[in-house]
Structure 1
């Protein structure tokens, strides 16, 4: 489950980067970024490895 969470976080960061540089989709892109960052921080706090 944790590797799935990490994969989703990476996908969300990539989607945010594409959205930021390609087009502006309003607040949705920034919400995706926040979700991805929270997932990565939780993973780091728990001390899980990739």
Structure 2
């Protein structure tokens, strides 16, 4: 691959980070209802980071 081929390829973004964020958010809600506060806190933190990563990649994708 030449340099022109690499730079001309569009950045394709899928919603996988957002899907995983929703999965971890649901796990956090269920854990909070059950009373597992430690698990709920950790999964909520993971969900938050997945949303942040998704937003950064979405912004980079829109700008490029």
Tell me how many residue pairs correspond in the alignment. Answer: 48
Deviation of 1:47 after TM superposition, in Å, equals 1.4
Shift of 1:24: 1.1
Q: Which has the larger radius of gyration?
A: 2
Determine the C-alpha separation between the residues in 2 that align with 1:42 and 1:11: 15
Q: Structure 2: where are the runs of 5+ without partners?
A: 1-12
Question: What is the root-mean-square deviation of aligned Cα atoms in Å?
Answer: 2.2
Instruction: Report the counterpart of residue 10 of structure 2 in structure 1.
Output: none
CA–CA distance in 1 between the matches of 2:43 and 2:55? 19
Select the structure with the greater relative contact order (CA < 8 A; seq sep ≥ 6): 1
TM-score by length of 1: 0.70
1:36 and 2:40 matched: no
In the superposition, the TM-score normalised over structure 2's length comes to 0.58
Q: Unaligned stretches of 5+ in structure 1?
A: none
